[in-house]
Amino acid sequence: MKKLFLILFLFLSVQTIHAQNRLERVEPLFWWTGMKNTNLQLMLHGKDLSGYTLKVNYPGVKLVKTHPVENPDYLFVDLDIQSEAKAGKFVINLEQKGKSSLKFTYELKNRDNAAGRIQGVTNKDFIYLLMPDRFSNGDPSNDVVKGMRETKLNRDSMYYRHGGDIQGVVNHLDYLKQLGVTTIWMTPEIENDMVNASYHGYAVTDHYRIDPRYGTNESYKNYVEKAHGKGLKVIKDIVHNHIGTGHWMYNSLPMKDWLNQWPEFTQTSYRDEPVMDPHTSLADRKKMLDGWFVSSMPDLNERNPFVQQYLIQNHIWWIEYAGIDGLRLDTYAYNEPEFMADWAKRLQAEFPTLSIFGETLVNSVPAQAFFTQGNTVNRGFDTHLPGITDNVLKASLFEALNGKSGWVDGVFRLYNTISQDFLYQDADKNVIYFDNHDMSRFYSVIGEDYNKYKSGIALLLTLRGIPQMYYGTEILMKNYSDPDGLVRSDFPGGWKGDKENKFTPAGRTTQEQDAWTYVSKLANYRKNNPALQTGKMMQFVPEDGMYVYFRYADGNKDAKDVMVILNADSTAKTLNTKRFSERLVNKTILKDVINNTEFKLDQPIAVPAKTTLVLELN
């Protein structure tokens, strides 16, 4: 009898273990009490979860509804985490007649309400964009991770991984702070377990996991905390629009319409016009929004309410977990507009100080403004998107530096672009830049002309908006986006054994050091002058190929008014200041913030060719 009882006990134990192993994933991994929105939708994934009923017995947690879906290996569960719920762990039971019961433990945590934890990114900041795989290798032990699809490491190729990681960025936080940077934006650190060329991070394969070749979830959180400890903010780059074909759920979708499906592969048109065109064809609009970005990046169906909730909760999870200050939204124009508006409202309700800005690579100021908040007349709803990556200003900056002045060309293009700021609710929330990981580098586009380089940096750090610089610009890194992707080259010195270490002055050439010093001096000056951060801007119609504007903060005793003079021509010129008297009242001396040279207002100012002067008014 005892032997029979023992056999029965072992059989039931094996069955219980087998049942528990059938539940492979529960997402979100855990959650928090005290959220403004008390609804939480769990996604359960395992073998044949259809037909199970759930039981929850924890004070303040109410089971609202279970959602069986097309794929029986998924079950969605709606919970209400009520205000009285306390942090702790509790068991959720799944039961079905005739089948072994399943159960799992779920955890609620207390929110971290430390003052200033999520600071937001504003026009007080200077953003440094880097690709973690190409910046610095701080932990060689994670260069190759067994079990992942891509196991090659080859720094001689732009299309393989090079080994940079989160620890490499942590190791150089002091370098960034000395440069004058206030905010770090990395291309996505999330898992990209693709066959190859996934180092860029935009083909997510697990929404809740940092790519192990970069580190762990814990090391990412530690990075944010260390950055904050040094007075640096952190932006996380997120992708709503698509996933990678290596995503764990791609070959076993919860439901067919989790993705935008087509009878045959259909790529997006990459045309933003159908999204805003009042005369557009619905077919054109559908191709733009529902077409896949590329064949390896399936397009998520953001009209599906389960997809919506999954993405919203995932982004809330990362912000609360790590204390991120801002989000950059990849391929913003390709997303379902109404969903993105609701997404922004949900996140801003939970994190009022969070900053967000969207990538909109469009070609006119009205098109950019169309996507930003406040433009409800033409949309019928508010996008709640504070700012965008200002691609139009970027193009006009290059035109000002490289073009020949004409009625609408050269410096006039820059003046004209900024004159249209009335279309934005607040143009100061736009991110301004020269280049990024998808574009030819600034120094190459201006023909490696060092005078133009300094002139451009001066404009970037004194114009309205939030300036962003791509890694290596400070040491004159160059190259074009085609054909070899060299714009994503490694930062010299980021790897043990590099012949040159340009993180240090000793490793830089004379000109590279001069460039680094120029960026650092202007960036740190900007950091300490409210006029260049939150101050107003007044610009004057360009004359004789020269463009003049002022940054000022009337009434702020800590602000120093600044006059900026751009001479984009190839010949030196002089500027008479009488025309600008409305901003020069009670001023007698102008001081160059770079070299401390002084200019008297009763004399013409000599402006060298291809030069931008940044002058403090005294």
Residue with token string 């009434």: 555
- Using CA atoms, how far apart are residues 206 and 149, in angstroms rounded to an integer? 14
The beta strands (E) that lie in 101-159 are given as 102-109, 127-130
Which residues, in sequence order, are CB contacts of 263 under 8 Å at separation 6+? none
Annotated active-site residue 336? The verdict is: no
- Phi, psi values for residue 467, rounded to 5°: -70, 140
For residue 129 the two structure tokens come to 């964009």
Between vectors from CA 320 to CA 316 and to CA 321, what angle results, nearest 5°?
110
27 an active-site residue?
Answer: no
List 191, 206, 359, 421, catalytic entry: 359
CA 603, CA 402: separation in Å to the nearest integer?
29
**Of 330, 336, 350, 512, which residue is the catalytic one?**
330
Q: Which residue has the tokens 């997809």?
A: 307
Nearest by Cα to 27 from 248, 188, 261, 328: 248
Residue position matching structure tokens 């944010």:
224
Q: Provide the β-strand partners of residue 327.
A: 236, 356
Separation between Cα atoms, residue 186 and residue 156, nearest integer Å: 22
How many Å is the maximal CA-CA distance in the chain? 111
Q: Which residues of 513-549 are buried (b: 16+ CB within 10 A; e: fewer)?
A: bebbebbebbbbbbbebbbbbebebebeebeebbbbb
- Which residues are catalytically annotated? 330, 359
